[in-house]
Structure 1
Amino acid sequence: MIDLDDPLINGYLRRLIGEDGITLIRNMPEGEVTDEEICNVLNPLKSASKEADDKVKKLKAEIKAAGESQADVKKLEKDLKKAEKEAEKAKAEAVGEYEITLNTVRKILFILYENKFTICRRERDANSGWLTFRWQINMDGIDYQIEREKKKLYRNLLKRKEYEDNNVFYVCPQNCLRLVFDEATETDFICPICGEDLVFEDNELFKQLLDTRIAEFGDMPR
């Protein structure tokens, strides 16, 4: 199992699937599970409340089906009264629980699947044709993915540094836009948005910050 508290892994996954996604991975049951089963694990109080409501509905249906059998009806009504109290209690307990919805669970699972962090098996019901997706976490490739992201970031930083080195910039005092010299001459050094005169921007500090960030990557090949 991966170390979700590792700053590098945690930061990468947080950008990919957010805090809810990390919570999902932490609490993912062993083996193959459906998205609904995952949702129930992530929202135990709301799951208990739903089960209690379903029990009430089932008992009401049984009372209706019992017809004229007074003995059965009397027992079922007693069970219903108890079930309704339990449902009210479960509903009240679930009020303050932070909910990760089924749609959110599905979105997280498919993002993980696209990045090869889950295994998905589909089952089709022979009678209804309904598809059931069964999921299993597989984070074996996360080190490779993080390395790819590092290289991508490194290349982007190098490109940005080259861009900053090779251009002279003018900016609008109202922060409307930032133009390179050739673009600024085309507008006669006037902001095309607000009409203010453009001013020269000294980007030396920004270039120093880029150099510092690039140096953090060490001897990574370009």
Structure 2
Amino acid sequence: MREHSHDLKYPNEVNDLINLDDPLIHGYLLRLIGEDGITLIRNMPEGEVTDEEICNALNPLRAVSKAADDRVKKLNIEIKAAKEKGEETKKLEKELAAAEKEAVTAKENVGDEKEITLNTVRKILFILYENKFTICHRERDANSGWLTFRWMINMDGIYHQIEREKKKLYRNLVKRKEYEDNNIFYVCPQNCLRLVFDEATETEFLCPLCGEDLVFQDNEPFKELLDKRIEEFEETA
């Protein structure tokens, strides 16, 4: 097992499973794609799949209900066509009655199942794609010209991505600490805004939004917090 800075571990093989319950990985993905996104990754079907297939996997009871409704619609169409041709419809009508009963039961079974919509699935997939966590292949139907996107999760680069994010956060903390060290701040007592000394003098120490007198802000507690966060990063480097 190879190890990297900040105690990040890399899998031996590129296809090793990612532990989504690892606090580091879970926290990173939570900020990136939310709980629905983590649920999507946990329940992603194997192989290359369409967004609709993913949505059905995330909403299994709704998928059953939709299939039952589609069956009812199909039978109604077949019965109408048969009647127009003067054909016998008793068998189809019997099938329709059973299908309608199944559709009602399926709809009742949906209950409190949390729905993750197709639009949400697509949004999550494209966020993952932008961060190189999915592989996407496009297929164009020769007759209709319709594009079908097929997706597969590829989390091999997540450890490197987290490492980059941590370095970026560290740089931002250092820059923010320098900013806090090099400035004197005044704030509006109504929490309208926060100004550095030069900006406050330009407004004659009056809030430009509400007119209240600006007051000096002691930023030492915030600077101490920044120092603590920076130290934590440096200790794990």
User: Do both proteins adopt the same fold according to a TM-score greater than 0.5, normalized to the shorter chain?
Assistant: yes
Structure-2 residue corresponding to 1:48: 64
Q: Distance in 2 between matches of 1:165 and 1:9?
A: 33
User: If the length of structure 1 is used for normalisation, what is the TM-score?
Assistant: 0.96
Structure-1 residue corresponding to 2:197: 181
Relative to structure 2, which stretch is displaced further, 139-148 or 168-177?
168-177
The answer to whether 1:22 aligns with 2:38 is yes
Matches within 5 A, 1:117-128: 117-128=133-144
The answer to whether 1:69 aligns with 2:87 is yes
The answer to whether 1:59 aligns with 2:75 is yes
Q: Distance in 2 between matches of 1:151 and 1:82?
A: 61
The answer to whether 1:130 aligns with 2:146 is yes
Matches within 5 A, 1:37-116: 37-67=53-83, 68-70=86-88, 73-116=89-132
SS in 2 for 1:37: helix
SS in 1 for 2:55: helix
Deviation at residue 55 of structure 1 after TM alignment: 0.6
The answer to whether 1:153 aligns with 2:169 is yes
Equivalent pairs counted in the alignment come to: 219
Relative to structure 2, which stretch is displaced further, 153-162 or 182-191?
182-191
Deviation at residue 171 of structure 1 after TM alignment: 0.8
Q: Distance in 2 between matches of 1:130 and 1:93?
A: 34
Deviation at residue 69 of structure 1 after TM alignment: 2.3
Deviation at residue 58 of structure 1 after TM alignment: 1.0
SS in 2 for 1:216: helix
Give ranges in structure 2 of 5+ residues lacking alignment: 1-16
Kindly provide the CA deviation profile for residues 136-158 of structure 1, in whole angstroms up to 9, marking residues without a partner as x.
00000000000000000000000
User: If the length of structure 2 is used for normalisation, what is the TM-score?
Assistant: 0.90
Structure-1 residue corresponding to 2:213: 197
Q: Distance in 1 between matches of 2:236 and 2:58?
A: 40
Structure-1 residue corresponding to 2:4: none
Q: Distance in 2 between matches of 1:189 and 1:61?
A: 76
Structure-2 residue corresponding to 1:142: 158
SS in 1 for 2:93: helix
Give aligned-pair identity as a percent. Answer: 79
